[in-house]
Amino acid sequence: MTANGRERLKGRIAVVTGSAQGIGFAIASRLAQEGATVVIADVNEAVAREAAQRIAQAGGTGAAHRVDIGDDASVTALSAALDAQYGRCEILVNNAAISDGTGIEKMTMARYHEVIRVNQDGAVRMCLAFVPLLKKAKDARRIVNIASIMGVRGWPDAIPYSTAKGAIVNFTRALAADLAPHGIMVNALAPGFVNTPMSILPDGSHEYDSDWFRDIYVKYGRIPLRRYAEPEDMAGPAFFLCSDDARYVTGQILLVDGGASATF
């Protein structure tokens, strides 16, 4: 357990999709540090098990479950398994997504629908399956959707990804209105540039090392903090949205982007 852990989420069940690595793992680790029992829900079961072991080694409680958020049956099976095991869920973090760098001239409808099926519809599937479990919990119910700066700003070569993340933004607002009468808070975290496997370019280089990124976003300050984020930079804001401190926060999109959205 780290110094940050004060067990403010003790006794709560948290499900984080796509949490075997990257932003999802950082969020899952922070929730575990704060006392939550964290379900590492990922399409890669072997890596999910390793992630759950790392959380346990740090003093937290984690369990690994395989889920393909693009598949109805897989999501339903996960919900049923957790209902049988825990009987409730207080926290759902919809983080899982696939990367895409497709512009309109190279895009196919098949690729477009694949990205939408996972990145947009996946969060909807999870909410449909898990809202009944959140209702079974007594209080402190939270849904956090991981959107993106690309869902609130235009971006080249990102039609499917940006469309999906833009939909997550308004899905969050609409769902917050639907679930407010049940006391379930729904918010979204919109990261900027984060050092994850998704930041590796097709040629194997890192986005941060490209001339265009270093010139525009670092040298000329389009990211005022002049650095890439690390996954851990997302964990604190996500924890806030899951915590009791956010009991009057719902329908909000929190941009965690080093100030990038303030400059354009």
Q: What is the pLDDT of residue 203?
A: 75
Q: What is the pLDDT of residue 201?
A: 66
Q: Which of 161, 136, 132 is nearest to 149 (CA)?
A: 161
- Answer whether residue 2 shows pLDDT above 50: no
- Answer whether residue 82 shows pLDDT above 80: yes
Proportion of the chain above pLDDT 90, given as a percent: 78
Average pLDDT over residues 110-121: 97
SS (H, E, C) 133-202: HHHHCCCCEEEEEECCHHHCCCCCCCHHHHHHHHHHHHHHHHHHHHHHHHCEEEEEEEECCECCHHHECC
Contact predicate 163/116, CB 8 Å: yes
Q: What is the pLDDT of residue 95?
A: 98
- Answer whether residue 223 shows pLDDT above 90: no
- Stronger pLDDT, 208 or 31, i.e. the higher one: 31
Average pLDDT over residues 96-123: 95
Instruction: Identify the bridge partners of residue 190 per DSSP, sorted by sequence position.
Output: 255
Yes or no: domain 13-199+230-262 corresponds to CATH 3.40.50.720 = yes
Contact predicate 251/214, CB 8 Å: no
pLDDT, tens digit (0-9, with 9 covering 90-100), for 51-81: 999 999 999 999 999 999 999 999 999 999 9
- Angle of helix 22-33 relative to helix 232-242, nearest 10 degrees, comes to 50
Average pLDDT over residues 112-129: 98
The active-site residue, picked from 86, 161, 220, 248, is: 161
Mean pLDDT of the chain: 93
How far apart CA 143 and CA 186 sit, in angstroms, is 5
- Give Cβ neighbours of residue 5 (< 8 Å, ≥ 6 apart): 33, 34, 35, 59, 60
Q: What is the pLDDT of residue 5?
A: 54
Q: What is the pLDDT of residue 101?
A: 84
pLDDT, tens digit (0-9, with 9 covering 90-100), for 153-208: 887 888 999 999 999 999 999 999 999 999 999 999 999 988 877 776 677 776 77
161 in catalytic set: yes
User: What's the pLDDT band for 217 if we cut at 50, 70, 90?
Assistant: confident
Q: Which of 155, 173, 29, 31 is nearest to 104 (CA)?
A: 155
Give domain limits for the chain.
13-199+230-262
Proportion of the chain above pLDDT 70, given as a percent: 96
How far apart CA 119 and CA 106 sit, in angstroms, is 19
Average pLDDT over residues 78-96: 98
- Stronger pLDDT, 95 or 157, i.e. the higher one: 95
Name the token pair of 233.
């930079």
